[in-house]
């Protein structure tokens, strides 16, 4: 009689434990997947700017001594930085390999040979806005990005190295080094004035 009573009790306990385990196993994953799908559907996207020049950054000037090899250069857009009037919602970095080459024999400014070359990084691509339809919150990020560069030959005009002379739209122009660098970083001036070399880039987004 004692063996008959313990057998059914053990069988009942085993069935109960298996039922609890299976209930928990099948219930939790289904709930997680369902919530994930709802979150995806709650987001919508809008392309604000498509395939346009977004920003420019003066990188460096090089003289007669050129780099012997390619180097990786990075253009970083920080969180909340304005790009074409829109605040960027997260920090994003874009990289490419660049070989800095000094002035060539053909880099003439009028009858004067250039002594230096300024390099400016130019970022182009799309501005995309992500909208959370539940909270109505949104942020903007850069997508489909490409990184190119512009090289601008010039020479120092005076002995104090405070003025430079270069070509703007084929016309010789002399201005202070500060104004010259500001022009290199002005995307509206840069895209219409300086020679551009296209290149692909590597995009790294950082929260």
Beta-bridge partners for 55 = 123
| ∠ Cα 128 150 97 (to 5°) | 75
From CA 125, how far away is CA 147, in angstroms rounded?
9
| ∠ Cα 102 106 107 (to 5°) | 50
Across the range 190-206, mean pLDDT stands at 52
Q: Looking at the predicted structure, is the pLDDT value of residue 108 above 60? A: yes
Cα 39 vs. chain centroid, distance in angstroms? 26
Given this model, what pLDDT does residue 54 score?
96
Q: How many CB atoms lie within 10 A of CB 183?
A: 22
- Split at pLDDT 50, 70, 90, the class of 32 is very low
- Split at pLDDT 50, 70, 90, the class of 162 is confident
Integer angstrom CA distances of residue 80 from 22, 101, 163: 48, 34, 34
Cα 169 vs. chain centroid, distance in angstroms? 29
Q: Looking at the predicted structure, is the pLDDT value of residue 59 above 60? A: yes
Which pTM does this prediction carry? 0.70
From CA 180, how far away is CA 175, in angstroms rounded?
6
């Amino acid at each position: 009689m004692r063996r008959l009573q313990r057998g059914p009790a053990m069988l009942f306990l085993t069935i109960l434990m298996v039922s609890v385990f299976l209930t928990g196993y099948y219930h939790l994953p289904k709930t997680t997947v369902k919530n994930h799908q709802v979150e995806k559907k709650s987001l919508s996207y809008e392309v604000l700017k498509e395939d346009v020049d977004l920003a420019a950054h003066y990188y460096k000037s090089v003289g007669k001594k050129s780099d012997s090899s390619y180097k990786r250069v990075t253009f970083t857009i920080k969180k909340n930085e304005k790009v074409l009037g829109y605040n960027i919602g997260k920090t994003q970095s874009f990289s490419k390999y660049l070989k800095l080459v000094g002035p060539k024999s053909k880099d003439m400014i009028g009858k004067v040979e250039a002594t230096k070359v300024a390099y400016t990084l130019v970022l182009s691509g799309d501005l995309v806005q992500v909208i959370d339809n539940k909270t109505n919150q949104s942020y903007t990020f850069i997508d489909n990005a490409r990184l190119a560069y512009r090289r601008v030959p010039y020479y120092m005009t005076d002995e104090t190295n405070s003025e430079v002379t270069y070509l703007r739209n084929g016309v010789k122009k002399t201005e202070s080094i500060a104004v010259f660098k500001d022009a290199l970083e002005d995307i509206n001036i840069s895209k219409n004035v300086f020679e551009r070399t296209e290149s692909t880039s590597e995009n790294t987004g950082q929260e």
